[in-house]
Structure 1
Amino acid sequence: LSVFHPRFQEDPQPRESKVSMTPPLFSRGTGPATSCGPITHTLNPMVTGTSVLGVKFTGGVIIAADMLGSYGSLARFRNISRLMKVNNNTILGASGDYADYQHLKHIIEQMVIDEELLGDGHSYSPKAVHSWLTRVMYNRRSKMNPLWNTVVIGGFYSGKSFLGYVDKLGVAYEAPTVATGFGAYLAQPLMREVVENKVEITKQEARELVERCLKVLYYRDARSYNRHEIAIVTEEGVEIVGPLSSETNWDIAHMVSQCYPPSLQ
């Protein structure tokens, strides 16, 4: 290289003055690297969905979610689906950022197509999809750009029911009942009370249970909506039912409001 190359020119400013003490994560710059700072990523979801519920029953799994996309506190989109059929033995539901869910859905759909093109008679099991999701979520979390979703995976494969949970950090587990969002506080205790006191639970009992929980969430969760879908997977395959609505009764609402101080009524 020539000595006149910019690399060899004397730096007019001390090196220390060019070092920023602000970590990239907290930089105010957005988009590509410019004079504003390095590349940054938003960590704030825009359009979000609330709770997803899942219950194992004898011979399958049921997952339910409402169809509201909230723009902050605004009930903006009232007919969006947050449940998907992965293949003939696996279903998936997601809460959190809807755009991230759409991105994840597109990847999974293409992955399933690629698998089917092999024509070897095999398909992804629910446990395989669950394991793959843990790696995807943890990978994005490690890049400080997570997919802002909590995902529920249900399925019936090789004669066994599967129900798993993965959050945006890659934390994952399997359980007989699963709930995300506000449902983890309101619906999960109701589901556990029924499931843990029974040796077996039928498909009809599981459906009645999730519908009861969805009604409770509609009453108590300000981000829920009285329109929902239910996905059921059994040995026969996958069925997604909806949109559905719950029968509600607000006759005692005025009595409940009297329990709050005047400033909150």
Structure 2
Amino acid sequence: MMMESPASAPVENSLLASPDSAIQRTKTPYVTGTSVIGLKYKDGILMVADMGGSYGSTIRYKSVQRIEKVGKHSLIGASGEISDFQEILRYLDDLVLNDNMWDDGNSLGPKDIHNYLVRVMYNRRNKFNPLWNNLILGGVKNGQKYLGTVNMIGVHYEDNHVATGFGNHLARPILRDEWREDLSFEEGVKILEKCMRVLLYRDRSAVNKLQIAKITEDDVQIYPPYALKTVWNLAAFQNPSASAPGSW
């Protein structure tokens, strides 16, 4: 009696045999990062993000880097789904590699990369398979500073300061009051730390482990993580329901 070889065995229950096996959708973000903030300062662009990665409402990871260098002239920061951000970084690696292969002496600037990301995010949205991220893209090329943002459905704009997540609600008012065009590096960092401290107090997904990055015409630096000095003995924190009658 001839035995059936493994290669010819029925595969009705195999995932590979499913007609939908090649189609995958991120329907709900799983591991997410919160706010990223960027601003222009006198010499270039500053960007900050914490290093938390939340699994639902649980802060599962505390060493997730969400700011990366792109090419020679740009920095990218992302909030939202971490795995989708990794996919975006792969897209950008391919883009920069393809550009370098032309060997024509030119290189992609921050505006070029921002325009590319806008098209990617809008294209994925139209396929009902969005990348669940809000992105900040900043850089300096030929003396021109550039800072822009794009969200998961392709809505985008440029500004002197931008933020994602809760930062768009809680940090932007601070930036509108305190930002100016001739900020020094130290002043810019001080403003970003003030914004991140407010977010740490108010955003449950924020962690007290920050990473700051800067980019100028000549240099790109992503600094090691560090913690902010915080104060938790304020009356509002000790008895948060005192000013909200009827709350828990």
Q: Same fold (TM over 0.5)?
A: yes
Counterpart of 1:216 in structure 2 is 198
- Matched-pair identity in %: 40
Counterpart of 1:229 in structure 2 is 211
Paired residue for 1:245, among 218, 224, 227? 227
CA drift at 1:221: 0.4
Paired residue for 1:185, among 155, 161, 169? 169
SS of 1:243's equivalent in the other structure is coil
Counterpart of 2:83 in structure 1 is 99
**AA at the equivalent of 1:221:** D
2:142 maps to 1:153: no
Distance 1:32-1:156 versus aligned 2 partners, 3 A rule: farther
Counterpart of 1:175 in structure 2 is 159
Distance 1:138-1:255 versus aligned 2 partners, 3 A rule: same
Q: How many residue pairs get matched?
A: 229
Output the CA distance in 2 between the equivalents of 1:173 and 1:137: 14
Pairs within 5 Å for 1:1-265: 32-33=18-19, 41-195=25-179, 198-252=180-234, 253-261=237-245, 263-264=247-248
Output the CA distance in 1 between the equivalents of 2:40 and 2:175: 10
Q: Which has the larger radius of gyration?
A: 1
CA drift at 1:202: 1.9
Give deviations 1:13-42, integer Å, cap 9, x for gaps: xxxxxxxxxxxxxxxxxx9546xxxx6734
Give deviations 1:240-260, integer Å, cap 9, x for gaps: 012111001111121545324
Output the CA distance in 2 between the equivalents of 1:146 and 1:78: 25
**AA at the equivalent of 2:170:** L
Distance 1:163-1:72 versus aligned 2 partners, 3 A rule: same
Output the CA distance in 1 between the equivalents of 2:143 and 2:109: 12
Identify unmatched segments of 5+ residues in structure 2: 1-16
Output the CA distance in 2 between the equivalents of 1:41 and 1:239: 35
In the alignment, is the contact (CA less than 8 A) between 1:59 and 1:160 conserved in 2?
no
CA drift at 1:157: 0.8
SS of 1:244's equivalent in the other structure is coil
Give deviations 1:207-258, integer Å, cap 9, x for gaps: 1111111111011100100001111001122100121110011111215453
Output the CA distance in 2 between the equivalents of 1:263 and 1:179: 30
**AA at the equivalent of 1:209:** I
In the alignment, is the contact (CA less than 8 A) between 1:48 and 1:70 conserved in 2?
yes
Structure 1 moving runs of 4+ over 6 Å: none
Identify unmatched segments of 5+ residues in structure 1: 1-30
Output the CA distance in 1 between the equivalents of 2:245 and 2:51: 32
In the alignment, is the contact (CA less than 8 A) between 1:59 and 1:159 conserved in 2?
no
Output the CA distance in 1 between the equivalents of 2:140 and 2:183: 15
Counterpart of 1:23 in structure 2 is none
Output the CA distance in 2 between the equivalents of 1:130 and 1:199: 22
**AA at the equivalent of 1:180:** T
Give deviations 1:40-76, integer Å, cap 9, x for gaps: 7342111000000010111200111110010000000
Q: TM-score, normalised by structure 1?
A: 0.82
**AA at the equivalent of 1:76:** R
In the alignment, is the contact (CA less than 8 A) between 2:42 and 2:181 conserved in 1?
no
Counterpart of 2:14 in structure 1 is none
**AA at the equivalent of 2:197:** K
Distance 1:201-1:140 versus aligned 2 partners, 3 A rule: same
